[in-house]
Structure 1
Amino acid sequence: MSSYYGSDGYESHGGYGDHRHAASAKPHVNAGTLWAGGAATALVAALVGVVATLVVTGVFDIPVIAPANAEGAVDYIGAVWLAGFGVVGSVLATALAHLLLLVAPRPMAFLGWIVGLVTVVFAVWPFTIAVEIEVQVASALVYVVMGIAIGSLVTGMATKALDD
């Protein structure tokens, strides 16, 4: 066996505890922790959708919009639909986190970028259609808050799932 000096200054002979092998080991992902966190995130995202709809629609009397079909039509949505979008987004983000934890070299960096860019797409979309500016701004803000909630919670749970 060859010997070298590790970063800690001690000589290594390539045996048990060799730093070169520890870095190449696949991470252990606690799927139970990850998916429990994903379920909790889905609940939080659903509640964010309900609260956002109550505030935007109930207090400010501004509708929240969502795409209605492939031809670019929009629909004014209520709390149930927005809660459902939050649940679907949370499950998809958790599945993506699980996949990235298993195969990506820096999974949390990729997850953050992907969730962030998807959030930007949803936040910009209302400004691409012809509706009142207050509807555009309110809808964009709702989507940003939901994206932040999903992104931060799934990232936190994914990190915790690696620690277990």
Structure 2
Amino acid sequence: MDPRPSPAVNAGKLWAGGAATAAVAALIAIAGILLGRGLFDVDVLAPKGQGTWGDASTGWYALGAGLAALVATGILHVLLITTPRPMRFFGWVIVLATAVSMLAPFVTDASTGARVYTSGLNLVLGVAIGSLVAGSGKSALIPVAPRPVPRTYR
């Protein structure tokens, strides 16, 4: 039996942080799309002919970013209550998911500029989601007092 007790998780605090992260991620996605289309004149998710705000794909991208933050929160919650070294596993999940999201634009037939910009935006989203959810997870941990070790008398 492991003498170190597992910490408890304040689920309300964790999920409040996850919801806040979802809002931040959605706003980063919208700001990134506006920046790419408006300032750099890059096709991000939809042709420039759709205007700076683009079409419905802008909303879907922001919604996807928010949902990614909530999925990350769920993954961290499960890891916190089931695995040893949950933050290490969470870090790996975030790094690999971010890498996949950065590579995904390169399998499309979009212009090179659009693929590179979208990949960069996905990197920013991955770093933001990973760091904010990890911070929420650390603050949601409730430390548990160590169990007393029984004394043996000789």
1:163: Cα distance to partner?
A: 4.3
- Show the 5 A alignment for 1:16-27: 21=3, 23=4, 25-27=5-7
Q: Which residue of 1 aligns with 2:28?
A: 48
TM-score (norm 2): 0.81
Contact 1:65 1:77 (8 Å CA) reproduced: no
Query: Of 116, 133, 138, which aligns to 1:159?
Result: 138
Calculate percent identity across the aligned residue pairs.
41
Q: Which residue of 1 aligns with 2:50?
A: none
User: Size of the alignment, in residue pairs?
Assistant: 134
Q: CA separation in 2, counterparts of 1:110 and 1:64?
A: 32
Q: Which has the larger radius of gyration?
A: 1
Letter in 2 for 1:87: G
Q: Structure 1: which 5+ runs fail to align?
A: 1-19, 67-75
The list of structure 1 runs, each at least 4 consecutive aligned residues, that deviate by more than 6 angstroms after superposition, is: none
Looking at secondary structure, tell me which structure has more strand per residue: 1
Q: Structure 2: which 5+ runs fail to align?
A: 47-54, 144-154
Secondary structure at 1:65 match in 2: coil
Contact 1:53 1:78 (8 Å CA) reproduced: no
TM-score (norm 1): 0.76
Q: Which residue of 1 aligns with 2:146?
A: none
CA root-mean-square deviation: 1.7
Letter in 2 for 1:82: Y
Contact 2:45 2:58 (8 Å CA) reproduced: no
Q: CA separation in 2, counterparts of 1:77 and 1:114?
A: 29
Q: CA separation in 1, counterparts of 2:30 and 2:112?
A: 22
- Give CA-to-partner distance per residue, 1:72-128, whole Å, 9 cap, x none: xxxx86431221011110110000000000001010111111011011001011122
Contact 1:29 1:161 (8 Å CA) reproduced: yes
Secondary structure at 1:154 match in 2: helix
Contact 2:21 2:133 (8 Å CA) reproduced: yes
